[in-house]
Amino acid sequence: MSLKASVVSSVLFGLCFLRLATANQSPNIILILADDQEWNALSTLADPDIPQSGSPYFQTPNLDQLAQGGMRFSWAYSGGPTCSPSRHAIQFGRSPASLGIVGYAKNVKSVKADNRDALATVLKRGCPGYIAAHFGKWHMMPLPEDLGFDVNDGPNGNEGGGF
């Protein structure tokens, strides 16, 4: 296991016990990943100090409510120019280049990462009892079930499913 995965596992494991000690239940974690969304496309401000970081045009009350009650990654950046590199970077906690994914990954059969270090696997290792589910577009290889997800809603690509 890499040093980064060990640290992440330790932190997640510790957070589980901290949360269990105070509320007797693990928190729900929802990661929403949107393609082609500008940084200021929500009606809530991405950065309270920048008035232009929200949209008066787009009304996103449900996402705004989630953002206000949860953790936002307002200073995050895309790991690549297309969805596949960014999705791989989030899934494995590594840069797309270190994973060998620098463009459209349709023909990628495996990445330079240990599947044991995937997001769902590390979370479940640190906090036993979590159930990981994926819904919507996946657009990467390996498939969700190969990376520790217990539930997958089916074909995971763009039109036509599959990839």
The predicted pLDDT at position 14 comes to 58
Higher pLDDT: 4 or 132? It is 132
Q: Is 88 a catalytic residue?
A: no
With tokens 């696997």, the residue in question is 121
All residues at 6 or more sequence positions from 67 whose CB lies less than 8 Å from its CB, including other chains: 42, 44
Strands 133-134 and 151-152: parallel
Please determine, for residue 156, whether its predicted confidence score (pLDDT) is greater than 80: no
d(C-alpha 41, C-alpha 32), whole Å: 14
Q: Which of 88, 127, 134, 139 is catalytic?
A: 139
Tell me which amino acid residue 82 is: T
Q: Is 83 a catalytic residue?
A: yes
* 33-83 tens-digit pLDDT: 877 778 888 898 888 899 998 999 999 999 888 888 888 777 777 777 788
Q: Which of 16, 83, 127, 134 is catalytic?
A: 83
* 113-147 tens-digit pLDDT: 677 789 999 999 988 889 999 998 888 878 888 88
Nearest to 93 by CA among 1, 15, 29, 4: 4
The predicted pLDDT at position 149 comes to 92
d(C-alpha 105, C-alpha 139), whole Å: 8
Per-residue pLDDT, averaged over 16-38, amounts to 69
The predicted pLDDT at position 20 comes to 46
